[in-house]
Amino acid sequence: MGVSRTSIDNQGQEKIITVDAHTHLGYDYVFEHDFNLQGLLMGMESNGIYASIVQPGTTFDLETVVKQHNKIAELSKKMPGRIFGMANPNPHLPRCKYCQEIERCVKDLGFVGVKLHPFAHAVNPNSSAGKNVFEAASDLGIPVMVHTGSGVPWSLPSMLIPIAREFPKLKIILAHSGGNLFAEEALIVAEICSNIYLETSWVPSSVIYRFCKVLGPNRVMFGSDHPENVATEITKFRSIGLSRNELEWCLGKTAIEVFNISLSIFRLGENL
């Protein structure tokens, strides 16, 4: 983009542009959790999040996910350059319906990614239903975020190695970096596959430190998953002795580059 990704706050300090790569808006029918608008906006406002990538809750039928996608699109219109959509239809929908909805989300609603949740949607990433997700994303030129950690074996980070090799240009983000239990496996997978990135919600700060030092900060991105978890996740990055450059990548630049998003702050020259 060629524009500095920092801005000056009231005290003359340069703020780091923070992008939350993992948020939700909509009811999750598997985890029975209501991700509401108030929580999303409060999480952003009270923690200085400049932009969020927003995905629906887990849904089953097409009609429900279409409604949730449309709500996310409405919000992205109200907050252009600050809210970006990520699609998540059920991969067990008929292939043509699944692909049509992903295409609508990207081409009509401007979404920037797609989510695959092997646990919530009971999808083996290497099955035909799983392959539909990666093929659709590859065709549309958007990254895929895959839940990893709870829900093994299909949520194991290593399940993504064959996919990452089959689609070398596709960017794959491991949500939760395998969780605490499989974080080391996530790191090995990311070392093997250069098109795999790690989103770090719910993993310990010591693990995040190791990711940054082994992989480099341009492969690691901040995500909160829940509004109540935003402050905790940011504090993890800010409390482990990372350099300013490393923090800039982990808190914003990695997500900006991977999702190829254009923040309004760069377009409008506004201050945070």
How far apart are alpha carbons 174 and 197 in whole angstroms? Answer: 6
Instruction: Report the nearest approach of Zn ion to the CB of residue 180 (Å).
Output: 16
Restricting to residues 62-101, name those near Zn ion by CB under 5 A: none
How far apart are alpha carbons 68 and 57 in whole angstroms? Answer: 8
Q: Of 20 and 225, which CB lies nearer to Zn ion in the complex structure? A: 225
Q: Of 225 and 233, which CB lies nearer to Zn ion in the complex structure? A: 225
- Contacts of 236-243 spanning 24+ positions with Cβ under 8 A: 236/200, 236/204, 236/205, 236/208, 237/205, 237/208, 239/205, 240/205, 240/206, 240/208, 240/209, 240/212, 241/209, 242/209, 242/212, 242/217
Q: Of 44 and 247, which CB lies nearer to Zn ion in the complex structure? A: 44
Alpha carbon dihedral 224, 228, 234, 237, in 10-degree steps, equals -80
Q: Of 24 and 82, which CB lies nearer to Zn ion in the complex structure? A: 24
Instruction: Report the nearest approach of Zn ion to the CB of residue 181 (Å).
Output: 17
Answer yes or no: are the C-beta atoms of 259 and 53 closer than 8 Å: yes
Instruction: Report the nearest approach of Zn ion to the CB of residue 45 (Å).
Output: 20
Sign of dihedral through CA atoms 232, 234, 236, 238?
Answer: negative
Instruction: Report the nearest approach of Zn ion to the CB of residue 175 (Å).
Output: 6
Going by C-alpha positions, the residue among 205, 154, 144, 152 that lies closest to residue 175 is 144
Applying CB under 5 A, what is the total number of residues that bind Zn ion?
1
Instruction: Report the nearest approach of Zn ion to the CB of residue 241 (Å).
Output: 28
Answer yes or no: are the C-beta atoms of 133 and 117 closer than 8 Å: no
20 binds Zn ion (CB under 5 A): no
Region of 202 please: left (phi>0), alpha (psi -120 to 50) or beta: left
How far apart are alpha carbons 211 and 76 in whole angstroms? Answer: 31
Sign of dihedral through CA atoms 121, 123, 128, 131?
Answer: positive
Q: Of 113 and 266, which CB lies nearer to Zn ion in the complex structure? A: 113
Instruction: Report the nearest approach of Zn ion to the CB of residue 64 (Å).
Output: 17
Instruction: Report the nearest approach of Zn ion to the CB of residue 225 (Å).
Output: 4
Instruction: Report the nearest approach of Zn ion to the CB of residue 24 (Å).
Output: 6
Interstrand relation of 113-116 and 33-35 (parallel, antiparallel or unpaired): unpaired
Q: Of 143 and 242, which CB lies nearer to Zn ion in the complex structure? A: 143
Q: Of 7 and 150, which CB lies nearer to Zn ion in the complex structure? A: 150
> Minimal CB distance to Zn ion: which residue?
225
Q: Of 225 and 246, which CB lies nearer to Zn ion in the complex structure? A: 225
Restricting to residues 168-227, name those near Zn ion by CB under 5 A: 225
* Site for Zn ion, rule CB under 5 A: 225
